[in-house]
Amino acid sequence: MAKVTFNRDLCKGCGLCVGACPKHIVVLDEEVINAKGYHPAGCSKPEECIGCAFCATMCPDCVITVEK
């Protein structure tokens, strides 16, 4: 099982990772505002992550870490 981690305080909520996820489990958290004033990305169903790391590849700020 893969483990995906988001540094939510550094995320600028651009949404590139959301569009890159083939399982559609990466989402912007509309209920949280981070230290930078944005809605950060997160994983809605971490147990369904396949570890493809497309989200991490797309992230311009390198706030996503994927471990297999």
pLDDT at 7 (0 to 100): 97
- Categorize the per-residue pLDDT at 68 as very low, low, confident or very high, splitting at 50, 70 and 90: confident
Q: Which token pair is 9?
A: 């305080």
Q: Hey, what are 26's tokens?
A: 């990466």
- Tell me the residue range of the domain where 47 lies: 3-67
Q: Per the structure block, which two tokens stand in for 28?
A: 């912007």
Check which CATH number belongs to the domain holding 12 and give it. Answer: 3.30.70.20
Helices (H), ranges, 1-68? 16-20, 54-58
Domain count, the chain: 1
**Whole-prediction pTM value?**
0.90
Residue 42's DSSP bridge partners are 27
> Under a CB-based contact definition with an 8 Å cutoff, are residues 55 and 24 in contact?
no
